[in-house]
């Protein structure tokens, strides 16, 4: 195997400027706001439960909120790989934690396309997956991390490193009390002192993004801020917990026999996973866990609000496209799950809000869209050169300008292995697993996906029609690289060497 990406410098020699690209002065700026594991409980979508998110709601009121938007991958890494490359895992092989710029170094990611079109590109926080070696360092004018140690260890996010405030004692939640969380900080929640907010990683990232909005830019800018919250642990300042009355939190709808009509393999998997929910019920802690998640949604909203307020008060307010997205949703006991990694609505449905020039104001759109649509939308709206590789999404520029003319479509969501996927539209969710078992839900009549119709011959034609929207072929999974073995640190840079031996 080849030695990949010997240098992850900012060099863009492989992405030259094109003569037919419009003048940089004519291009809109882009504020690209990402949140992690935030489901569709934002206030403007009127869900149950509903988070207190006044800043996201305000953004939606001056732009467009898509209520039927879906992730492009069920893990952090494949979702973000799809967004930045414009290609699904079934094309790239990035189904789990594969790294697109290692396995496919010639793919031109979104931020490189921006840079090649004359944009100054600024990034901070969780835009890619968070472990060391995951940031695609090409094409950034500047990428922010908080500590020198991060630069010397492969640029991990380290959102909860030793200097960041966490509630004491640790573990703090009743779910983990008396032992260590089984998966790092999983199902940990707790209150950080309010005066420690300034020391939190997402606050520091937000401050850096704000600083970029306060300086003069000679070129249009692409400013990308990735917040780690509300990804677990659900630690945030006490004041965000205080926004909610724990006892008045509405629980999402549950159904005791929800798993009974699932295919055997997924039913068995979720039966074991449902033990998490059962433990929370025994501890009378379901509302506590959701309280922590809602509080962190409100903390994320506050950080977003600070950035948006700075934008509104400055010289770039009228010429900046703002987009807010979450990499995927999150289950809180629905269908026996806590987390993501499913093909159901709770994983797939995400906040997706746009505002700015060329975008209608105050519209809620329920036609089906995907995060894979981000890249082609920016190609059209920002005059970017089309990359050499195919983009698998659709531009939303027309819908953003004239939302009343939007038509529904099927969107595709790959799973963790080739041949497993969901096809989603406004009326149906069809799920196909690699062992050829199926699920089918009439999401208008059954929004909670409680009744699997796949075994009913009445719906055979519906399944056949939806299957036509799936890829005809699926790439094999790309190699998974080992950070200890294959990640090579070189001062403040790094590269991956797939052929490196442990003794090298």
Would you name the residues annotated as active-site residues? Answer: 76, 129
- Listing DSSP states for 404-444 in one string gives GG-----EEEE-SSTT-EEEE-SSEEEEE-TTS-EEEEETT
Pair type for strands 29-35 and 338-339? unpaired
CA 426 to chain CA mean position, Å: 21
Closest CA to 60 of 400, 293, 306: 400
Q: Tell me how far apart the 2 most distant CA atoms of the chain are, in Å.
A: 65
Task: Assess contact for 383 and 22: CB atoms under 8 A.
Answer: yes
Q: Give, to the nearest 10 degrees, the angle between helix 286-313 and helix 264-282.
A: 90
Closest CA to 11 of 118, 112, 85: 112
Q: Residue 52, class by beta-carbon neighbours within 10 Å (0-12 exposed, 13-18 middle, 19+ buried)? A: middle
Number of H helices, E strands in the chain: 15, 20
Task: Assess contact for 440 and 425: CB atoms under 8 A.
Answer: no
Report the C-alpha gap between 444 and 428 in whole angstroms.
8
Report the C-alpha gap between 483 and 172 in whole angstroms.
30
Residue 255: count other Cβ atoms within 10 Å of its Cβ: 14
The DSSP 8-state label assigned to residue 156 in this structure reads -
Tokens, residue 251: 């629980």
Q: Give backbone dihedrals phi and psi of 278, rounded to 5 degrees, phi first.
A: -60, -40
């Amino acid at each position: 195997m080849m030695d990949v990406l010997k240098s992850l410098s900012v060099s863009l020699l492989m992405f030259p400027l094109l003569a037919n690209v419009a003048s940089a002065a004519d291009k809109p700026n882009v504020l690209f706001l990402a949140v992690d594991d935030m489901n569709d409980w934002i206030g403007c979508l009127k869900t149950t439960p509903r988070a207190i998110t006044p800043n996201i709601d305000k953004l939606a009121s001056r732009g467009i909120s898509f209520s039927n938007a879906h992730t492009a991958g069920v893990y952090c890494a494949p979702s973000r790989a799809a967004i930045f490359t414009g290609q699904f895992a079934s094309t790239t092989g990035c189904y789990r934690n594969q790294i697109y710029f290692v396995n496919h170094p010639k793919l031109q990611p979104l931020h490189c396309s921006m840079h090649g079109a004359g944009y100054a590109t600024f990034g901070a926080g969780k835009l890619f997956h968070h472990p060391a070696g995951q940031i695609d360092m090409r094409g950034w004018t500047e990428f922010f991390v908080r500590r020198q140690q991060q630069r010397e260890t492969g640029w991990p996010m380290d959102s909860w490193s030793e200097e960041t405030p966490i509630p004491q004692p640790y573990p703090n939640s009743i779910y983990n009390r008396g032992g260590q969380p089984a998966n790092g900080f999983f199902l940990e929640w707790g209150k950080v002192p309010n005066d420690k907010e300034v020391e939190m990683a997402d606050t520091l990232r937000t401050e850096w993004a704000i600083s970029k909005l306060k300086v003069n830019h000679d070129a249009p800018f692409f400013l990308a801020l990735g917040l780690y919250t509300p990804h677990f642990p659900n630690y945030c300042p006490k004041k965000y917990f205080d926004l909610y009355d724990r006892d008045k939190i509405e629980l999402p709808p549950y159904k005791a026999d929800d798993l009974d009509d699932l295919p055997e393999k997924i039913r068995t998997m979720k039966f074991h996973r449902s033990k998490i929910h059962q433990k929370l019920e025994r501890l009378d802690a379901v509302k506590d866990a959701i309280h922590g998640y809602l509080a962190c949604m409100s903390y994320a909203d506050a950080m977003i609000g600070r950035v948006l307020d700075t934008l509104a008060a400055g010289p770039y307010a009228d010429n900046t496209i703002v987009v807010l997205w979450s990499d995927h949703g999150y289950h809180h006991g629905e269908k026996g799950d806590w987390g993501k990694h499913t093909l159901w609505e709770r994983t797939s449905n995400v906040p997706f809000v746009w505002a700015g020039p060329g975008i209608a104001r105050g519209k809620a759109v329920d036609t089906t869209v995907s995060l894979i649509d981000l890249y082609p939308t920016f190609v059209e709206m920002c005059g970017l050169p089309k990359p050499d590789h195919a983009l698998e999404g659709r531009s939303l520029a027309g819908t953003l300008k004239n939302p009343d003319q939007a038509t529904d479509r099927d969107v595709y969501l790959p799973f963790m292995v080739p041949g497993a996927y969901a096809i989603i539209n406004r009326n149906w969710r069809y799920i196909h697993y690699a062992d050829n078992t199926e699920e089918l839900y009439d999401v208008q009549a059954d929004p909670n996906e409680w009744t699997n119709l796949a075994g009913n011959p009445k719906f055979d034609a519906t399944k056949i029609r939806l299957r036509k929207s799936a890829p005809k072929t699926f790439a094999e999974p790309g190699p998974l690289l080992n950070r200890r073995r294959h990640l090579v640190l070189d001062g403040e840079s790094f590269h991956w060497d797939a052929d490196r031996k442990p003794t090298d």
